[in-house]
Amino acid sequence: MKGGWWKIGTVLLLLYVVIVGLRTPLAPALVHASVDRIAPGPVSFDIKGYNTHFTEGSVTAWLENDGQQVCSAPVEVLADDRARVTVTVPQGFRKPLTSVWVFTAKDGPIALHDAFFTEGLGDGITGTPCRPGGKYLRSGLAFPDRAILNETIRNLFFHVPMWFAMMALMTIAVWQSVRVLRSGSLEADRSALSAVHTSLLFAALGLTTGSLWARVTWGGWWTSDPKLNGSAVTVLIYAAYLVLRGSIPDAHKRARLAAVYNVFAYALMLVFLMVLPRLTDSLHPGNGGNPAFSTYDLDSSLRAVFYPAVLGWIGLACWAYTLTDRTERLNALAHEAHDR
């Protein structure tokens, strides 16, 4: 990694991530309805929006259940982010959960999905679709306002790339360990140790940002989730790598044993972080046995910042690794000079 171009690129990427990731607003969204259950007959409820503009133009609202729509009476606008909807709920909706939609010329169509538990189910209703057509004025980059996540969705640009950075450094570490097994190089052993040291720093940052995110969105600092437990076990495995190294005084024997252990630790890391989460449900994105991101979890606006964030944090991790490796090399040379 000679030359400074990649370091400049890393700094620019992270500046872009911080500025755009924190300053881009969330798209307009509905976040709350004042009732959570509806039954056939007239019903009135207040809806609360976020970054909405109800006072700028007319507002249309409707209920939607299994693709069937019921139009509301004229919406009473209370504020930019509050409005009162009155609608006559028919008997015969097919599904137990009903969504409410709102359309404004400024914000376009926005929905609070599955807002109400619905009584009086049946075989369906007949009615005229209510969703207005035509253009609306919303423009510019905006992140989606997902239920539960809300503003914390920005943590996607920090928490997830930390684990990518950790895995990149663990890959460097295992490559250096393979060099040790092939040549017995103590320099490669030192580089493997530097990579593990730096990777554990990013693992700690990943655990910290993840715990904070869990507290806000899931209500607890830690939950029994396969990815959370797998990440904790991975950190413990690599912490044991450091303990193993400290228990062997002979440098060449230490290098060999640590290299073997590192190869197995890397394989276990892939199992705990990439394989096991696919075999069970998880609170993380894409649950149901598939931990990958879906269109719900990652849209185009998020990708515009998330991918640069991954590259930027990996670049910073590699930069930190090179500094750590140089420091360890200088320490080794100082010890050798002292022994002479």
Provide the residue-wise pLDDT of the chain in tens; the chain has 340 residues.
Answer: 456 788 899 999 999 999 999 998 888 999 999 999 999 889 999 999 999 988 888 888 999 888 888 888 888 999 999 999 999 888 888 889 999 999 988 888 888 998 899 988 888 777 677 777 655 656 667 888 787 788 888 999 999 999 999 999 999 999 999 999 999 888 998 999 999 999 999 999 999 999 898 888 888 888 877 788 888 999 999 999 999 988 888 888 999 999 999 999 999 999 888 887 777 776 666 555 545 555 555 678 888 899 999 999 999 999 999 999 898 888 777 666 665 5
Instruction: Note whether 308 and 315 are within 8 A (CB).
Output: no
210 lies in a domain?
Answer: yes
What is the C-alpha to C-alpha distance for residues 109 and 60, in angstroms, rounded to an integer?
9
Domain end, chosen from 118, 136, 159, is at: 118
Q: Which two tokens stand for residue 146?
A: 């997902």
254 lies in a domain?
Answer: yes
Q: Which residues contact 194 (CB under 8 A, 6 or more apart)?
A: 321, 324, 325, 328
Long-range contacts, 7-14 (Cβ 8 Å, 24+): 7/315, 7/319, 9/315, 10/311, 10/312, 10/315, 10/316, 10/319, 13/308, 13/309, 13/311, 13/312, 13/315, 14/309, 14/312, 14/313, 14/316
What is the C-alpha to C-alpha distance for residues 169 and 264, in angstroms, rounded to an integer?
15
Same-domain check for residues 245 and 335: yes
Q: Model confidence over 246-267: pLDDT tens digits?
A: 888 888 899 999 999 999 999 9
Long-range contacts, 236-241 (Cβ 8 Å, 24+): 237/265, 237/268, 237/269, 238/170, 238/196, 238/199, 238/200, 238/203, 238/265, 238/269, 239/200, 241/196, 241/265
Q: Which residues contact 155 (CB under 8 A, 6 or more apart)?
A: 209, 212, 213
Phi, psi of 296 (to 5 degrees): -70, -35
Domain extent for 196: 150-339
Same-domain check for residues 201 and 316: yes
Same-domain check for residues 161 and 282: yes
156 lies in a domain?
Answer: yes
Same-domain check for residues 248 and 168: yes
Structural domains of the chain, count = 2
CATH number of the domain bearing residue 74? 2.60.40.10
Same-domain check for residues 168 and 56: no
